Structures are given as structure tokens and as C-alpha cells.
Amino acid sequence: MMNQCTYSFNDSVQETISIPSKITLLEALLEQKLPMRKACINGACGICLVKLIRGNIDYKNRIPRGLNNKELQAGYILSCIAHCKNDVVIQISSPSITRK
């Protein structure tokens, strides 16, 4: 199954891509050659966070330990363990990108 993901990158570029539900949001964004920051790839460090504006994600029983309460309340999700459940809109901003 495929879902649409519309992402903005530092409030500028906006793209919509199709993501198979079996891969994570981070894997899909890396396939787009976006310089996403990543480290643990298991929801522990929080470095891969993106803001979920619309839609729903599924962590598939994994726990987003890398997010604090403030980030959770603000709608941040961890892209390395998140699978799209439906069409989503996300914002990727400076803290989650690596400068080349």
C-alpha cells in the first residue's frame, strides 16, 4: 500500500512523494536524497525528528523514546521508526537536517 507524503524542507521546497507503507518515513526521505540527520535508527536519540502537520503514522509497536513531552505536544515524530498510515504532511526543519 502506498501513501502520499507532502514535505516541506526548511519552509521552502515542497514536494509530494509516494511512500510504500513497509518502509519508514526516514528511508523514503533519504531516497529523495534529502540530507536527513540520523543516528540510532531505533527511536532513541531523537535526531531524526520531523513535524507532523496532517495525517497519521504508526510506530509499529516501537516507542519514540527520543522525543520529550514538549516535542510530542508540538506534533513532532521520529521519522526513523514512523510508517505512514495515510497521506501525511510533514515539515522538515533545521534541527533535523545536516549541512553539507
Surface-to-core class of residue 62, CB atoms within 10 Å of its CB (0-12 exposed, 13-18 middle, 19+ buried): middle
In eight-state DSSP terms, residue 78 is: E
Closer CB to ligand FES, 12 or 46, in the complex: 46
Provide, rounded to whole angstroms, the least separation between the CB of residue 61 and ligand FES: 15
Residue number, 12 or 70, with CB nearest to ligand FES: 70
**CA-CA distance, 87 to 68, in Å (whole number)?**
25
Closest CB 3 distance from ligand FES, rounded Å: 20
Q: Residue 26 in contact with residue 90, Cβ under 8 Å? A: no
Nearer to ligand FES, 9 or 78 (CB): 78
The strand pairing partners of 36, in sequence order, are 97
Residues that bind ligand FES (CB under 6 A): 38-41, 43-48, 66, 78, 80
Smallest distance, ligand FES to C-beta of residue 77, A: 10
